[in-house]
Amino acid sequence: MKTKLLLAAALAGCLSGLGAQQFPMQIDRLAAQASDKIDVSLSGSLLQFAAKFLDDNDPDDAKVRKLIAGLEGIYVKSYSFKNANVWTQADLETIRRSLRAPEWSRIVNVTGDDGTSEIYVRMVEKKPAGVAILAAEPKELTIVNIAGSIDLASLSEMGGHFNIPKIPEKKE
Amino acid sequence: MDGPEEMDWLEEELKRALAREMPPRDFAAPRRRPAWRAWVAAAACLAASAGTAIGYRQYQGREARRELKLALDIAAAKTSRIQTQLREFSR
Amino acid sequence: MTAIEAVEATAIDFNGLVREHQAMVYSVAWHFLRDRPLAEEVAQDVFLSLHRNLGGIESSRHAAAWLRKVAVQRAIDAGRRRKRLPRLGLEEAPEPASFDPRYDPWLGESLRRMVASLPEAQRMAVILRYQEELEPAEIAGLLEMPLATVKSHLHRALALLREKLERRGMGER
């Protein structure tokens, strides 16, 4: 797999939040063709409401509470397709158009034969205010928009939270 | 090979060789569920069946919590995958 | 059942389904890919999909069929995406110090490696036939190919395995 990597900043680190952000995440054409769709939209008030039902005696819930403490919103759209090559570069450009400078900066871009993965950081008054993830695989397209303060390193450790197994570390 | 006919020795050996194995890590490791949660769930059921606003709010809250966990799991999976790709590239 | 009981039941059912079917899902991926970390990743992906689609699962039997189909698809996809296939030539299989037809500890491992080196379609057909013990008609439905094609794949795979075993002195007892 040829991998082209552009790394502009470290992946881990805390980002302080200053305001919620929204960008167009719906691609109607893909939604119509998807065999499976996930659409989660949790604004600030809904996040706070959900947090009230977290169980502090449960270690997993406690981790979630800590992770979302500075969040102002989390939005996920994920489309799965029966066949490959349903999404196109034009679809990705539709998303990328909303994630441009000066407000957004792409800090990670991994491109290979099995798709593209990108992470963007939103800056407000020269301070980080949110994260967007664009993950395009042959039979799946996922867009994540996280508004507010989030620790990406802690987030990547959260896999396996709701009894969905973690992605295992590749063994040497 | 064709259904109910008796399998020959190679087919029997293939069945043995390809027997299912448990994954190295148990995906279904039991989660700790404090007993009082079941009690609260039962109490909430009672409230819901009586048609009170409290029961419905509980239901809404659990749904919101479920959505939150799903969103975080997906975000975590994608972030973790990117980290793995970066690690592989830097080798 | 009240709405809250339904929410609780959904969480319980998912755990139960994972517990019941993780060996099947993992083994399809493992025997097909011969790469344990990749097989685990595929299995995780399958159960994540199950979680997403839990509302559409009608029964335990439906879940088993659904999981098997998705596991097959994802394993095949992962195999195609992989940089290098584990083309374990027969010369890499351990030589038996002596061949005792009553007990050959190497035969199972040799067979697993030989199966892993089969062409994709034959490999999956063999796994579904001998790991999952599906009938050829069931395999045809799952792989969305004609029954005759499945039978041909199985026939050729067995012939190839038999030939390789005989060349290595591990022939029919």
Chain A, 15 to 44: residues with Cβ < 8 Å from chain B are: 38, 40, 42
Note the pLDDT of residue C83.
Answer: 54
According to the model, what pLDDT value does residue C25 have? 96
Range of the domain at C53: 1-86
Inter-chain contact C41–A167, Cβ cutoff 8 Å?
yes
| CA A7/CA A108 separation, integer angstroms | 5
Q: How many domains does chain C have?
A: 2
Q: What is the pLDDT of residues C115-142, one digit of tens each?
A: 999 999 999 999 999 999 999 999 999 9
Residue C123 belongs to a domain with what CATH number?
1.10.10.10
From C54, C86, C118, the end of a domain falls on: C86
Chains with at least 3 CB pairs less than 8 angstroms from chain C: A, B
Which ipTM value was assigned to this complex? 0.79
Query: Is the same domain home to C72 and C117?
Result: no
Same domain flag for C66 and C1? yes
Q: Is the pLDDT of residue A98 over 90?
A: no
- Output the average pLDDT for chain A: 76
Of the three residues C37, C70, C86, the one that is the final residue of a domain is: C86
What are chain A's partners, defined as 3 or more CB pairs within 8 angstroms?
B, C
Q: Tell me, yes or no, whether C2 and C78 share the same domain.
A: yes
pLDDT at C147: 94
The answer to whether residues C82 and C92 belong to one domain is: no
> Does the structure show a pLDDT above 60 at A170?
no
pTM over 0.90: no
Contact A164 C44 (CB under 8 A): yes
Q: Which of C14, C18, C40 comes nearest A168 by C-beta?
A: C40
If we measure between CA atoms, which residue out of C12, C11, C44, C10 comes closest to residue C25? C44
Spans in chain C with pLDDT lower than 70: 1-13, 83-106, 169-173
DSSP state letter for C96: P
Read off the pLDDT band of A153 (50, 70, 90): confident
Domain ranges of chain A: 15-41+72-149
* Mean of the per-residue pLDDT values of chain B: 72
**Interhelix angle for C107-116 vs C120-130, to 10°?**
140
Domain boundaries, chain B: 53-91
Do C82 and C145 fall into the same domain? no
Which residue, of C56, C86, C116, is where some domain finishes? C86
- Which pLDDT value is given to residue A129? 86
Cβ pair C77:A38 closer than 8 A: no
Extended strands (E) in chain B: none
- Residues 6 or more apart in contact with residue A28 via CB below 8 angstroms: none
Indicate yes or no: CB of A144 within 8 angstroms of CB of B64.
Answer: no
Alpha-carbon distance of C74 to C41, in angstroms, equals 10
**8 Å CB contact of B77 and C5:** no
B26 to chain C, closest Cα gap in Å: 8
